[in-house]
Amino acid sequence: MTKVFYSIFLLAAIELFAQNPNQKTFCNPMDINYRYNWEQINDKISYRSGADPVIVNHKGTYYLFVTISGGYWESKDLLNWRYIEPSKWPLEDNCAPAALSVRDTMYIFQSTFQQRPIFFTTEPETGKLKFFNRWMPLIPDTLGPWDPAIFYDEDTDRWFMYWGSSNVFPIFGQELDHSKRLIYKGEMKKLIYLHPEIHGWERFGPNHTSPIKPFIEGAWMTKHNSKYYLQYGAPGTEYNVYANGTYVGDDPLGPFTYAPYNPISYKPGGFMCGTGHGNTFQDNFGNYWNTGTPWIAINWNFERRIAMFPTFFDPDGQMHANTRFGDFPHFLPTKTLTNKDELFTGWMLLSYKKPVTASSVKDNFSAANVTDENPRTFWVAESNKEGESITIDLQKVYNVKAVQIHFVDYKSDIFDNDSSRVYTQYKFYSSLDGNNWDLVVDLSKVKQDRPNGYFELSSPVNARYIKYENVYIPTPNLAVSDIRVFGNGIGSSPNVPKNLKVVRDKDERNAFITWNKVSDAVGYNILWGIKKDKLYQTYQVWADDREELELRALTVGQDYYFAIEAFNENGVSKASEVVYIK
């Protein structure tokens, strides 16, 4: 190894493992260098964003494609992601992309209403893309293909495309002819529409309360045990209830039947809300994952992030992503999973609504906002200079195992991704007494853009205080929406919530849920499903809210079962007795 090569290798290793090189956990949203988006440049609105993810497992390496990112990411472990700028790319960038790996080749195709090429590569790690075909034929009536997905059925050696993003048109499907460079073959079929009058979760708006006609989009196909799961996102990316659903069929072009357990991926409560419009892939151990697009909406309604959730097919073929504690730390798998909850670390949120002090505060952007678990409220410092800081008093000594930070592009002036200036540098300290501090995270020596940085500590620390200290931020303002601290206390988990009651509305899409308060709870998880042993859905509620929830995500004519659990800084209670509603 030459001295020059060794230096480059060492520098890359330092950048890749700027923190704990033995990190075994991740925490949604994904910790990548979200790219600044040019969509609102004419309105002078600057923000980082990521949406509509597709993760492809190509020969044991993972590749992540995200809307309008100027490139894609590569990872060996689903944790450390390296950004790649490709040799060829659509002039207007890649929106809601399709990507697929078949044998030694990866195929990439953009959303479009015009003629566009399909790219391919056998070496995606280099960024070298070639044209597989120069122009896909136009689809009549300007139907796209927008939000495309390409599917290869290896059992039959047939190729298909699915697409659609509209509150008027359905999800479409059509066979492709690989012998003719994947041009359309046969008849274009209308496959699935939304039916919000029956499926409560398909209604638009916050908590499904808007009369606006909802949107169907983000098609994806997964084949499992000879069944075809045609997935879709609904009812719209702008709110907390964005979710993925599925129809199931015996043929890639249907007919398809609505899955009674829908939605398959749903996270309307907690910190990172929204799971819609992603894809389903398998990791190197054969485990399934479902990706999606949580909603941020600070600078613009379409400001978003990326998340991924472990996903399963139960013995009855029911597909379900596990979003329980979906924005808390989870282990990355090292084997085939046998239990839907085995990746959850049990590290609890220690920072919710804990007192905060800041070195300075600009206007009314209070420091208290960084512990409220709301990504749309934030603290702004008087300056963006080195040394500005914020300190969280956890009020007790806890065993701290991880921290996470979320920056805000408040009044940003950045519209490019020049790495010479677009990066973040900061430190975290811990303390038992608020006077003597130990450095636990140090990003001051590398130039990485970590706007949603998650850090598993090299060794857990006992601490009452956690301090963030700014070193460098590229934006005119230092703004932070949330600092989240994870670990465990030495006390008891909360008691099981009592007196769970579920009353179904005259409108069967809605149910009213109440329970008795648990005095030491930080929050509750409402668990529900279509069978007593299939409580795959979760709605997280904070304990300082009222002990009630109006759930508006049910399907007319479908029976349901409900339970509830409580959690605090020490752990999670057992689930309550199951309640049945017809």
Q: What average pLDDT does the segment 479-483 reach?
A: 98
Return the pLDDT at 437: 98
pLDDT: is 43 or 354 the higher one?
A: 354
Q: Which residues contact 250 (CB under 8 A, 6 or more apart)?
A: 226, 227, 228
Return the pLDDT at 459: 97
User: In this model, does residue 391 exceed pLDDT 70?
Assistant: yes
My answer on whether 369 and 477 are in the same domain is: yes
CATH label of the domain that carries residue 40:
2.115.10.20
Which helix H or strand E contains 187, and what residues bound it? strand 183-192
Residue 7, in any domain of the structure = no
Residue 18, in any domain of the structure = no
User: In this model, does residue 176 exceed pLDDT 50?
Assistant: yes
Please give the order of strands across the beta sheet that includes 307-313.
280-282, 288-292, 307-313, 319-321
Residue 398, in any domain of the structure = yes
Return the pLDDT at 7: 38
My answer on whether 147 and 175 are in the same domain is: yes
My answer on whether 227 and 304 are in the same domain is: yes
Residue 13, in any domain of the structure = no
Confidence of residue 101 (pLDDT cuts 50, 70, 90): very high
Return the pLDDT at 142: 61
Return the pLDDT at 297: 93
Return the pLDDT at 144: 80
Residue 238, in any domain of the structure = yes
Residue 185, in any domain of the structure = yes
- Interval 262-303: pLDDT, tens: 999 999 999 999 999 999 999 999 999 999 999 999 999 999
Domain boundary residue, one of 268, 293, 327? 327
Confidence of residue 94 (pLDDT cuts 50, 70, 90): confident
Instruction: Give the side-chain half-sphere CA count within 13 A for 410.
Output: 22
Return the pLDDT at 18: 52
CATH label of the domain that carries residue 524:
2.60.40.10
Return the pLDDT at 19: 63
My answer on whether 558 and 475 are in the same domain is: no
Strands 479-488, 389-407: pairing is antiparallel
Residue 333, in any domain of the structure = no
Return the pLDDT at 39: 83
Listing DSSP states for 191-210 in one string gives EE---TTTBGGG--SGGG--
My answer on whether 179 and 290 are in the same domain is: yes
Q: Is residue 145 reached through a cis peptide bond, with omega within 30 degrees of 0 on the bond before it? A: yes
User: In this model, does residue 15 exceed pLDDT 60?
Assistant: no
My answer on whether 289 and 381 are in the same domain is: no
Q: Which of 307, 318, 147 is closest to 240 using CA atoms? A: 307
Return the pLDDT at 137: 73
pLDDT: is 427 or 113 the higher one?
A: 427
My answer on whether 299 and 381 are in the same domain is: no
- Interval 504-529: pLDDT, tens: 999 999 999 999 999 999 999 999 99
My answer on whether 255 and 114 are in the same domain is: yes
My answer on whether 300 and 189 are in the same domain is: yes
My answer on whether 526 and 451 are in the same domain is: no
Return the pLDDT at 141: 63
Domain boundary residue, one of 292, 327, 362? 327
Average of per-residue pLDDT values in the chain: 94
My answer on whether 476 and 566 are in the same domain is: no
Report pTM: 0.95
Domain boundary residue, one of 488, 518, 552? 488
Ramachandran assignment for 52, one of left (phi > 0), alpha (psi -120 to 50 degrees), beta (any other): left
Return the pLDDT at 140: 63
Q: What average pLDDT does the segment 480-488 reach?
A: 98
My answer on whether 507 and 443 are in the same domain is: no
- Interval 202-226: pLDDT, tens: 999 999 999 999 999 999 999 999 9
Query: What are the CB-based long-range contacts (under 8 Å, 24+) for 113-119?
Result: 113/142, 113/144, 113/146, 114/138, 116/90, 118/181, 118/182, 119/88
Total number of domains constituting the chain: 3
The Cα angle at residue 486 between residues 484 and 487, in degrees rounded to 5 = 160
CA distance 296 to 207: 15
Residue 494, in any domain of the structure = no
Domain that holds residue 202: 28-327
